[in-house]
A and B are shown apart, each in its own frame.
Chain A
Amino acid sequence: MAISWYLLVSAAMFGLGAIGVMVRRNPLVILLCLELMLNAGNLALIGFARMWGNGDGQIFAIVVMVVAACEVAIGLGIIVALYRRRLPVDVDELKELHG
């Protein structure tokens, strides 16, 4: 398959993730949609790595995965802390994050 098809799939995934971030109000689901966008970036990076026949893009994809794992750990930690303090788990009602 041509590389451009992979890039089109990646662009569609990114658009879907962006829609999800704008539409949903549960921070858990917003984190999931962020994962979608990061994975769209990963697919594009690996497609470009295949296009060049060069492994550097795959290293970039691994670094993106590391950053995504850190983001998940911190984001879920914040959500659990919110839940513990009986705050609403809803991004429209959370207007400030200071303790």
Chain B
Amino acid sequence: MGFFFVVFALVALAGAVGVVVLRNPFYCVLSLVVHLIALALLFLLLEAQFVAAAQIVVYAGAVMVLYVFVVAYVGGGDRPAPLWRASARQRALAIVFGGAVFIELAIAILGSGLSALGGGGPDVAPGFGSPAQIGELLLTRFLLPFELASFLLLVAAVGAVALAGRRGGLGEDRDVSPGHSTLDLPVPAARGTMAEGVAGYGVTTPMPDPEFEGRTLKEGDGV
């Protein structure tokens, strides 16, 4: 039991360090996946089977896939900092403050004097942390938070679509103006269709055809 804890905790901490340190955001995401899986194994050691499964399916599965797609779409790491910004000093200060948070929390945990913290917890019934127990709690004592969570997810999904949708949200895209459709764009004289091949359009020297020149594409044009 102790051996597994040490291994999983070290892997989780290494994943966390990787998220903070690695330059490429894609590697950061992969490092977080490693961290989340190790964390799910720690949850298993704490008899939380359902939460561990949800962690792997929801987090390491769904949410991280979303991250991977957005990183592939946006890309890019941290840009190099401008010269006038004291980036190194800011980094040192951040590490000092983060270390202070850790030391403070460690003092609060170890200095609390709670005798239960020293043990591994009481013996629990075999069904502890199982989907049956979690489901019963969610549908009886925690019914209101459960429903509120579903509503929050709905609002977040609508908000995400409104923000990232092609129109609306943070403003119109430049190339799509209201009142015009892509069918109104001018069509080049040679479009490489079969009709042009019959009519004798060349690849290198297109012959202007008065019938096609300057026309715009209409609906029912057969393209």
Contact = CB atoms under 8 A, between A and B. Distances in A.
Interface of A: 1-9, 11-20, 22-26, 28-29, 31-33, 35-36, 39, 42-43, 46-47, 49-53, 55-56, 58-59, 61-63, 65-74, 76-85, 88-90, 92, 99
A15 B178 CA distance: 49
A65 to B, nearest CB: 6
A55 B128 contact: yes
A4 B145 CA distance: 29
Contacts of A42: 39, 51, 55
A9 B9 contact: yes
Tell me what chain A mostly uses at the interface: helix, strand, loop, or mixed.
helix
Given A15-B99, A25-B79, A9 B137 contact: no
A36 B32 contact: yes
The 5 closest A-B pairs by CB, nearest first: A15-B102, A19-B98, A22-B94, A77-B163, A70-B156
Nearest to A20: B20
B133 interface: yes
B54 interface: yes
B17 interface: yes
Contact of A84 (B58, B67, B173): B173
A80 B58 CA distance: 21
Given A1-B45, A15-B102, A28-B74, A59 B32 contact: no
B13 to A, nearest CB: 6
Contact of B20 (A23, A50, A88, A92): A23
Contacts of A46: 43, 46, 48, 51
A32 B128 CA distance: 31
Contact size range, B: 35 or more
Most buried by B among A4, A13, A15, A78: A15
Interface string B16-34: 1101100001001100100
Nearest to B159: A74
A23 B78 CA distance: 10
A37 to B, nearest CB: 10
Contacts of B124: 50, 53
Interface stretch (B113-121, B180-188, B204-212): B113-121
Interface string B131-151: 001100110011001000100
B48 A49 contact: yes
23 contacts: A2-B117, A4-B109, A9-B42, A11-B105, A11-B106, A18-B97, A20-B19, A25-B78, A26-B77, A28-B70, A32-B67, A46-B51, A51-B116, A53-B121, A55-B128, A58-B129, A62-B51, A72-B67, A73-B157, A77-B164, A80-B73, A90-B78, A99-B170
